[in-house]
Amino acid sequence: MSNKHDISKERAGAFIKQLAEAELGDEIIYHIGKYAAGPHKHDAYNKAIGGLCVVYQRRLDKGVFAYTAKKVK
């Protein structure tokens, strides 16, 4: 069973720590808004390029998305 972790309001650096502590399949919401932004955007992108997670967006409301990373490795 996967868990969801919302770090969208935490300071830079929280994504790396949360990904390291997450179990396979856990989802980390790293930003909520109209566009991918925030202090975790680059960390999520870099870890996705490295194959440790996949990143995607999930619509919450009209024009508002939860930008999410799912741990895969």
Q: Is the predicted pLDDT of residue 1 greater than 90, yes or no?
A: no
Q: What is the pLDDT of residue 2?
A: 85
Look up the pTM and report it. 0.94
Domain of residue 14 covers 4-71
Q: What is the pLDDT of residue 25?
A: 98
Q: How many CB atoms lie within 10 A of CB 53?
A: 26
Q: What is the pLDDT of residue 24?
A: 97
- Number of folded domains in the chain? 1
**Residues with Cβ within 8 Å of residue 5, at least 6 apart in sequence:** 18, 22, 26, 27, 28, 29
pLDDT 10s digits, 8-57? 999 999 999 999 999 999 999 999 999 999 999 999 999 999 999 999 99
